[in-house]
Structure 1
Amino acid sequence: MSKIKTSKIKVGIVGVGHIGKFHTRHLASASEFEFAGMYDIRPEHAQKISSEFGGKIHESFTDLLSASDAILICTPTKTHFELAQQALTAGKHVFIEKPVTENVMQGEQLVALAKSKKLKFQVGHIERFNPALMVLNHLDLNPVFIESHRLAPFNPRGAQMAVVHENMIHDIDIILSLVKSPVTGIAANGVAVVTGEPDIANARLTFANGCVANVTASRISLNQMRKMRIFQPATYITIDFQQHQTEIYQLKNAADVPPDATSFDINSTDKKIVYSKPALPESDAMRAEQLSFVEAIQNDTEPIVSGADGLEALRIAEKIYALIVV
């Protein structure tokens, strides 16, 4: 039986910059847990965020830890390891924005530390909480081929990292969660067009169960696109993460198709293609991932996006990056 903690979890945040600002807004308005406040190395910026959303400003990270049961780390990636190690050592549950750390070795140390301390460790791969993906939870998915495109116009923010770590890693994490099989082969290519790091990249992932995934990411495109297509026997699914839209095509026995279903005849008298476009619930992905983190703490369950998940996504991203820059 899961353990249930009835008192409210106290959640603090370190780093209230671009992503941290949005997290703070959700933390301050939540009723399911207590907002323990914030710490940022820029006091004037922390004051601005506190004035906008509320929340106590702590004078140091140590003070924030003392006031919190759990910590959201929304600082630059190069600081993730040190802050998370300090928080876990202090006995605090940790949510950390993606990518989990600068390198795999650091990620492995944090996963091991969280396990040894029996603490919850979640990574902020927010697309896992996109309703366009979550609506598929009821389906029996066994992908054979996956194709994804994550394209965006150039934005200097985040340009210090390769597009693989900044953008593609979202789809890597999603694909790993869908396929649930070890990656056995990687082929990749990419180009640094406007920065010193790859700005556009493509990777082909081969899995032990035979699935193949073709993954493209670009931060120098004219228009935004966040789409994924999933193919498996008798099923084709298209997901638009940006528009929150999912379409499903399934091959079914004609006798099993309801009269009011949208269906298409094919060159067979006993089969039809059935089309559905599920109505997606109103959902805020950032709020959903925060609540998932808190519920994992309260119920002593594994987070939906665990530290190990974030580490594996980083591990594959690192292998892709190494193939591109050699």
Structure 2
Amino acid sequence: MLKIGVLGTGHLGKIHLKCIQLAEETYELIGFYDPDDAAARQAEEQYGVQRWTDLDALIAAADVIDIVTPTTTHFALAKRVIGQGKHLFIEKPLTNTMDEAKTLLQLAKEKGVKVQVGHVERFNPALLALGDQPLNPMFIEAHRLAVFNPRGTDVSVILDLMIHDLDIIQSLVKSPVKSISASGVPVVSESADICNARIEFENGCIANLTASRISMKQMRKVRFFQKDAYISLDFLEKEAQVVRLYDTDAAPTQLPQDNLMELETQSGKRYIHLSMPETAPVNAIKMELESLAHSIERDERPVVSIEDGYRALDLAHQIMDQIEERLIAARSSS
């Protein structure tokens, strides 16, 4: 069993404390560190967990540290954790800047520690329901909309919301990014609150992403279009829908036995099959924390590695840079 300490007991930090306690066969929760006395007292009372006032002592006593603090603090904390040779779970985004991320990436390699980044949508039942279904998307459309919450405005909407979809897309499209076209507008904060990005990959795949934190409704949907299928994932409702095409000369053993319809196309008749893969109820945060433990025990690459977190952050910063250039140009011309 791995000893784990938590840094940060804000809204999400408290959820992590609860999930670690639920993962009692995987982790021994030895305590937390939080310089905020009020938040620390509440965590102690609510979860019965020991508060450590010496950060380095907690790091030294643990096998794994879970960082659930504001993004601006990620780098300094993660550097201390990795520097002591401890495994790390760190909430997304990995860091605030690319220079910080590059430093952590190199340090993690030097120290030989496992680092998992908290892109929790990788563990969403809608995505997990696809299992090993063949995915080769050539067009992707993603919408991630949220009602305004001041708690997330310390970073751009790209780092707050869109980065989830950037991570998922890069995990599925095994091709380098060729070009990016992005625009965004700050409405209620100093950084972009709504944005759209069009990403073209070297293999020809196009991804069109929209993120907003000033919407009147919640939405977290991604749609994949490929040569033989249309796949729709609803991360909010935790539902998946797959529409797949089959040739009429396909072997009977290759065809589903239900919900099969004929479709007339320019190249002749084909079969169309609609399915809604069963989704299993899971605690995604508990699952991602447990997956880090498994990667440590088996000496395997974490499901969402530090390299994955780095790539998502890099793409997010390219989008933010382009939006900032557009905003500067618009201000100077007005």
Which TM-score bucket, shorter chain as reference? over 0.9
Q: Structure 2 matches for 1:175-214, cutoff 5 A? A: 175-214=169-208
Other-structure match for 1:216:
210
Other-structure match for 1:3:
none
How big is the shift at 1:323? 0.7
- Measure the CA separation in 1 of the matches of 2:255 and 2:158: 44
Other-structure match for 2:331:
none
Other-structure match for 1:168:
162
Other-structure match for 2:306:
307
Give deviations 1:250-300, integer Å, cap 9, x for gaps. Answer: 001346375741123211564111000011112111011000111111111
How big is the shift at 1:209? 1.0
Partner of residue 135 from structure 1, selected from 125, 129, 141: 129
| Contact 1:28 1:55 survives alignment (8 Å) | no
Equivalent residue of 1:267, what SS?
Answer: strand
Identity of aligned residues (%): 44
Other-structure match for 1:294:
293
Length-normalised TM-score, structure 2: 0.93
Partner of residue 14 from structure 1, selected from 7, 14, 17: 7
Other-structure match for 2:317:
318
How big is the shift at 1:54? 2.4
- Measure the CA separation in 1 of the matches of 2:214 and 2:118: 24
Deviating runs (4+, > 6 A) in structure 1? none
- Measure the CA separation in 2 of the matches of 1:26 and 1:52: 13
Aligned residues: CA RMSD: 1.3
| Contact 2:22 2:286 survives alignment (8 Å) | no
| Contact 1:227 1:241 survives alignment (8 Å) | yes
Q: Which amino acid aligns with 1:68?
A: A
Q: Which amino acid aligns with 1:249?
A: V
How big is the shift at 1:29? 2.4
| Contact 2:259 2:275 survives alignment (8 Å) | yes
| Contact 2:130 2:277 survives alignment (8 Å) | no
Length-normalised TM-score, structure 1: 0.95
Aligned length: 319
Does residue 42 (structure 1) correspond to residue 39 (structure 2)? The answer is: no
Give deviations 1:35-59, integer Å, cap 9, x for gaps. Answer: 1211101133212112212222111
How big is the shift at 1:99? 0.6
Q: Which amino acid aligns with 1:262?
A: N
- Measure the CA separation in 1 of the matches of 2:56 and 2:260: 60
Other-structure match for 1:230:
224
Partner of residue 142 from structure 2, selected from 129, 135, 148: 148
How big is the shift at 1:137? 3.1
| Contact 2:246 2:255 survives alignment (8 Å) | no
- Measure the CA separation in 1 of the matches of 2:255 and 2:225: 23
Does residue 267 (structure 1) correspond to residue 264 (structure 2)? The answer is: yes
Structure 1 alignment gaps of length 5 or more: 1-7
| Contact 2:17 2:47 survives alignment (8 Å) | yes
